[in-house]
Amino acid sequence: MTTTTTTTPRLQGKTAVITGGATGIGFAAAKRFVDDGAFVFIFGRRQDALDAALAQLGPNARAVQGSIFDPADLDRLYAQVKDERGSLDIIFANAGTGGVLPLGEITAEQIDDTFDTNVKGTIFTVQKALPLLGPGASIILTGSSAGTTGAPAFSVYSASKAAVRNLARSWAEDLKGSGIRVNVLSPGPTATELAKAAVGEEGLKMFASMNPLQRMAEPAEIAAGAAFLASDDSSFMTASELAVDGGLAQL
User: What are 142's strand-pairing partners?
Assistant: 185
Distances (CA, A) of 13 to 35, 63, 81, 118: 12, 18, 14, 29
Alpha-carbon span 78 to 86, nearest angstrom:
10
CA end-to-end span of the chain: 52
Catalytic residue among 31, 128, 161, 205: 161
Alpha-carbon span 206 to 16, nearest angstrom:
34
Q: How many CB atoms lie within 10 A of CB 198?
A: 16
Cβ(137)–Cβ(121) below 8 Å = no
Active site (annotated) includes residue 78: no
DSSP letter (8 states) at residue 136: T
Catalytic residue among 31, 128, 157, 176: 157
245: left (phi > 0), else alpha (psi -120 to 50), else beta?
Answer: alpha
User: What are 140's strand-pairing partners?
Assistant: 92, 183
DSSP string, 49-96: HHHHHHHHH-TTEEEEE--TT-HHHHHHHHHHHHHHHSS-SEEEE---
Active site (annotated) includes residue 161: yes
- Catalytic residues, by residue number, are 157, 161
